[in-house]
Amino acid sequence: MENCLFCKIIAGEIPASKMYEDENMLIFKDIDPKAKNHYLCVPKSHFKLLADMTEEQSEMLKACFKKIPELQKELGLENGYRLVINQGEDAGQTVFHLHIHILSGQKMGWTPA
């Protein structure tokens, strides 16, 4: 997808601190971390919202959710972690290529506002 930041990172046109990559996903460090550990897991196929997802993309997302716990050591998830998917304006989505935030390494509160 033209002009999509995460498509450009996946294509290697913009640098990122990569943690894991396979045919379905790329996992890299968030540039502006909101927790001690903050990674983004990005399916390689471009779509903005879960509501837009095709069957094929849902398989890709499933692969992401399967892989994340397998990387608990590499990503520092041993003591617990939080996954967040911001969807649309109220949630504050700023990059319109679906991604899973992976947050860990500290105790986290529960205050969406």
Shortest distance, CB of residue 93 to ligand AMP, whole angstroms? 4
Residue 11 CA, distance from chain mean position? 16
**Region of 49-57, 58-66, 69-77, 90-98 interacting with ligand AMP (CB under 6 A):** 90-98
Segment 21-24 long-range contacts (CB within 8 Å, at least 24 positions apart) = 22/63, 22/67, 24/60, 24/63, 24/64, 24/67
**Region of 18-26, 28-36, 43-51, 69-77 interacting with ligand AMP (CB under 6 A):** 28-36
Q: Of the two residues 5 and 71, which places its CB atom closer to ligand AMP in the complex? A: 5
What residues act catalytically? 99
